[in-house]
Structure 1
Amino acid sequence: MIKNIIFDFGAVLIPLDEHKTWESFRKLGALDSLKDQKKLFHKYETGGIETADFLKKLQPHFFRKKIFPGDLAKAWNAMLYTALPGEIIDSLKKWKRDYRLFLLSNTNDLHISEIKSVAGPYDYGMFVQQFEKVYYSYEIGKRKPSPDIFKMVLEDNDLEAEETFYVDDGKKNTSTAKKLGIHTWHFDPLEDSIHDLDKVLSAHHS
Structure 2
Amino acid sequence: MQNEIKNIIFDWGNVIIDVSMNNFTEACQMAGIKFTDEEVNSTHKAGFFLAFEIGEISEDEFRNEIRKRATTSLTDIEIDTIWNKILGQTPKEKLELLYSLSSQYDLYLLSNTNAIHWNAFSKNSFICNGTNMINSFKGIYLSYQLHCAKPSPEIFRKTIEIAKIKACETLFIDDSSKNCEAAQALGMRVHNYIPGSDLKNSILGEIEKK
Q: What pairs up with 1:1-206 in 2 under 5 angstroms?
A: 1-33=4-36, 36=39, 38-64=46-72, 66-82=73-89, 84-116=90-122, 118-119=124-125, 126-190=132-196, 192-204=197-209, 206=210
TM-score using structure 2 length: 0.86
Inter-partner Cα distance in structure 2 for 1:57 and 1:124: 38
> Does the CA-based 8 Å contact 1:3-1:164 persist in structure 2?
yes
RMSD, matched Cα: 2.3
Runs of 4+ in 1 over 4 A off after TM superposition: 120-125
Q: Sequence identity, in percent?
A: 27
Unaligned runs of 5+ in 1: none
Inter-partner Cα distance in structure 2 for 1:22 and 1:171: 24
Inter-partner Cα distance in structure 2 for 1:29 and 1:177: 39
Q: Report deviation, 1:63.
A: 2.7
TM-score using structure 1 length: 0.88
Task: Identify, as 1 or 2, the structure richer in helix.
Answer: 1
Unaligned runs of 5+ in 2: 41-45
- For the residue of structure 2 that corresponds to 1:11, the secondary structure is coil
Aligned residues: 202
> Does the CA-based 8 Å contact 1:48-1:141 persist in structure 2?
yes
Provide, for residues 162-196 of structure 1, a one-character-per-residue CA deviation record: whole Å limited to 9, x for no partner.
Answer: 21100001111111011111111111104x22122
